[in-house]
Amino acid sequence: MNATTGNRARAGWAAASLALACLGGCGGPAAEDTLAIAGPTTASSTIVDLPAGPVSASAALVESRLRAAGVRITAIDRDEGLITARSNGTRFVDCGTIFETAGGRTVEHPGNAGRLVLTDPRNPAARLVRTLTAETSAGIGITRGVTNTVVVRQQHRVSIVVRARNGQVISSETREFTDRGFARFEDGTICRTSNAMNEALL
């Protein structure tokens, strides 16, 4: 299921009462300064259909589209329709939405953003720097039929680090998950596979 690696600073982000509690969606912004998070709302798919034709042609098309999306091909057998690939981008994971309320104004941030500077609810004059990194590996298989079916299986490793503006680490967590599951971080963040890789193949 979900594996947890790396360092957890339990006294950090969640224990500092940053109010990341709206996992199913928030009913509305609070009047005080808060940070809240809603989990992913869009289900991902592992299957893409391409026009019928030789498997090798579909493999070449998939390879081209993955490269165009910035994905690195690590191995390919065009005749067998087998591809493995890797990416260090955050777009292939969906980590919901962060709602930042400060001074009566609420701003939405994508939960998979690589770097966010957020208001610290404990001290509205201070800021928190949240960074998220992701590594994705994909195994892709293509079968011939009325339409050629592309099955994309993904595995992710996501790290979230929260620092004070002076660089002090408040919390640090790394979790791994596949497209069959999700990762739940102690700050309330939930990450799962996004549809970005499948969309890149269409």
For the chain, which residues make up each domain, given as ranges?
3-201
Q: Assign 21 a pLDDT band (cuts: 50, 70, 90).
A: very low
Average pLDDT for 59-84: 97
- Which of 14-28, 149-163, 180-194 shows the lowest per-residue confidence on average (mean pLDDT)? 14-28
pLDDT at 52 over 80: yes
Beta strands in the chain (DSSP E): 3-5, 34-38, 47-50, 72-77, 82-87, 93-94, 97-102, 105-110, 115-120, 123-143, 148-164, 169-178, 183-184, 190-193
Q: What percent of the chain has pLDDT over 90?
A: 70
Taking the model in full, what pTM does it have? 0.82
State how far the Cα of 61 lies from the Cα of 39, in Å rounded to an integer: 33
Per cent of the chain over pLDDT 70 is: 85
Q: Which residues contact 15 (CB under 8 A, 6 or more apart)?
A: none
For the ranges 12-16, 94-98, 121-125, which has the lowest average pLDDT?
12-16
102 or 3: which carries more pLDDT confidence? 102
Q: How confident is the model at residue 157 (pLDDT cuts 50, 70, 90)?
A: very high
Residue 7 pLDDT level (bands cut at 50, 70, 90) = very low
Query: Residue 78 pLDDT > 50, yes or no?
Result: yes
Residue with the larger pLDDT of the pair 19 and 43: 43
What average pLDDT does this structure show over 98-113? Answer: 93
pLDDT band for 134, please (50, 70, 90 cuts). very high
Nearest 5°: the CA angle 78, 82, 88 is 110
pLDDT digits (tens, 9 = 90+) for 171-199: 999 999 999 999 999 888 999 999 999 99
Between 24 and 189, the more confident residue is 189
